[in-house]
Amino acid sequence: MFKCTYACGSDEHQIARRSFLGMTATGMGAIAGGLGMLAQPAAAKKLASDQKRVIVVNMAGGLSQLESWDPKPGTPTGGPFRAIPTSVPGIHICELLPETAKQMHHLALVRGVNIHENDHGKGGYKMFYGRPKTPAAEYPRLGAVMARTLESDATESLPGHINVTPGGGGGRGNDSAYLGPRYASISLDNGKPPQNSKLPDSIKADTDGRRQAFRRAANDAFLQRRRTAFTDAYTHNYEQALQLMQRRDVFDIEKEPQKDRDRYGSHDFGRHCLLARRLLDSGVTFVQVTHTNYDTHNENFNFHLEQLGEFDTPFACLVNDLAERGMLDSTLIVVLSEFGRTPRINQNYGRDHWGTAWSICMGGAKVQRGATYGKTNDQGTAVTEGEVNHAQLFHTYLQAVGVDSEKQIDIDGRPVPLADPAFHPVKELLA
């Protein structure tokens, strides 16, 4: 360990969207009670300074480690790009990431990832769920686990698990398993407030207040006889949607200064990174941003030249802004894929699926700053030291934000481990 103190057409690339479960349906409005006090700006300002947050950047399709975090210039597998120095002496990354290189003192590289999987769906499942997919059980996604374990009174007024992705329309995901729908993801796009999150002009606030009071009374009467985890989740989501309407400006990057919008860029990824920063700054626990599509079976080098050119500046701005705002110590940053790309360059100048020896990037929270862990051989074909898998990384993410990944949580009287109990965190990555 070094310390300083394109696309295959798989089903997984067809994105399905769900409806918003009526959570922000027309007719919701001002809050007359419930959890409404948390919707006020003054309450938002009282968020604890050490509130833990997580930002995950999903380089969907499989980012090439050789064109990013673990370059091998001058070798038969290395490709045409150089390795450049970073802000940490001794650590070099690909020249396609010059702005990110300046932020390396805030980050760490994990260069020995091996998940033994080359399938998009299965690899993605492992990386986001910390376990292999099995028909025997359903597990919650990383964001759902983080939303549950990092939940506090200060985070109640906004969803805790948000997925910012092209095409996201405000629908709920189906990714929280036994943790319940309360912690399922909400998908957003365009740097605008969620659809149907504004009270129609035809409905006055006092009228809506009476409607909500009647709904709450009816709910209470029903819950006295038939209360379940699902009815609780429905009630919570409805109340949270009402609060979200009070704070809908949180989702509007047009409220950010023009200079910040210019710094991040007007393309999707730039706007989404700025939205992620705004959400984290407002107290959202977990935000995932997706940059796609890195499945470069053809023209790998031209694609990465263009795509990483889009990624580099917004990501570097995000890291730097979190640091300057004093949020880095409490915010975990993870840049991952479902796997890497083959060292071998195919006949179409592409790289294929490679889950055997590749890299991810981490930073913030309790992650060792300016560190590398793990190593591949000269041509990047195998891990030679510090090999880690998806389960170990899942443990490490949780530990980095102060969650004991080896503990169990109670689900309807049954103890369930937060992460795969057969594995442990990578302690060398944690400060």
Token pair listed for 257? 């200064």
- Measure the CA–CA gap between 238 and 22, rounded to whole angstroms: 8
3-class secondary-structure state, position 335:
strand
Q: Which has the closest alpha carbon to 128: 140, 137, 119?
A: 140
The distance of Cα 199 from the centroid of its chain, to the nearest Å, equals 30
194 or 309, higher pLDDT: 309
The distance of Cα 31 from the centroid of its chain, to the nearest Å, equals 30
The fold for domain 11-24+52-196+253-429 equals Alkaline Phosphatase, subunit A (3.40.720)
| C-alpha dist (Å) from residue 282 to 39, 229, 329 | 11, 28, 16
3-class secondary-structure state, position 116:
coil
Mean pLDDT of 189-210: 75
User: What are the pLDDT digits (tens) for 262-284?
Assistant: 999 999 999 999 999 999 999 99
Residue matched to tokens 């795509």: 307
Token pair listed for 3? 């310390």
Q: Which has the closest alpha carbon to 389: 137, 131, 142?
A: 131
User: What are the pLDDT digits (tens) for 403-430?
Assistant: 999 999 998 889 999 999 999 999 999 9
What are the beta bridge partners of residue 416? Answer: 409
| pLDDT for the residue 155 | 64
Residue 218: exposure state from Cβ atoms within 10 A (0-12, 13-18, ≥19)? exposed
Mean pLDDT of 286-301: 96
Token pair listed for 66? 């050789």
Q: Using only C-alpha atoms, what is the Rg of the chain?
A: 22
Domain borders along the chain are 11-24+52-196+253-429
What are the beta bridge partners of residue 146? Answer: none
Let me know how many helices (H) and strands (E) the chain has, helices first: 10, 16
Angle, helices 390-400/142-149, rounded to nearest 10 degrees: 30
Q: Write down the pTM of the prediction.
A: 0.84
| Contact between residue 406 and residue 395 where contact means Cβ atoms under 8 Å apart | yes
DSSP 222-267: HHHHH--HHHHHHHHHHHHHHHHHHTGGGG-GGGS-HHHHHHH-SS
Percent of the chain with pLDDT strictly greater than 70 = 83
Mean pLDDT of 296-308: 97
- Measure the CA–CA gap between 399 and 393, rounded to whole angstroms: 10
DSSP 195-208: TT-S--TTS-HHHH
3-class secondary-structure state, position 371:
strand
User: What are the pLDDT digits (tens) for 11-20?
Assistant: 554 433 333 3
Least confident span in 173-182, 352-361, 367-376: 173-182
| pLDDT for the residue 117 | 97
- Measure the CA–CA gap between 53 and 394, rounded to whole angstroms: 15
Q: Which has the closest alpha carbon to 79: 337, 301, 303?
A: 301
Alpha helices in 268-332 (DSSP H): 268-281, 300-324
- Measure the CA–CA gap between 81 and 62, rounded to whole angstroms: 18
Element (H, E) at 211: helix 205-226
- Measure the CA–CA gap between 347 and 157, rounded to whole angstroms: 53
Q: Which has the closest alpha carbon to 8: 61, 79, 72?
A: 61
Token pair listed for 104? 């390396």
- Measure the CA–CA gap between 68 and 70, rounded to whole angstroms: 6
User: What are the pLDDT digits (tens) for 43-84?
Assistant: 444 444 579 999 999 999 999 999 999 999 999 999 999 999
- Characterize 10-44 residue by residue with b for buried, 16 or more Cβ atoms within 10 angstroms of its Cβ, and e for exposed: eebeeeeeeebbebbeeebbbbbebebebbeeebb
- Mean pLDDT of the chain, nearest integer: 86
Residue 243: pLDDT over 90: no
Phi, psi of 403 (to 5 degrees): -95, 130
- Measure the CA–CA gap between 212 and 33, rounded to whole angstroms: 9
| Contact between residue 360 and residue 110 where contact means Cβ atoms under 8 Å apart | yes
The distance of Cα 248 from the centroid of its chain, to the nearest Å, equals 21
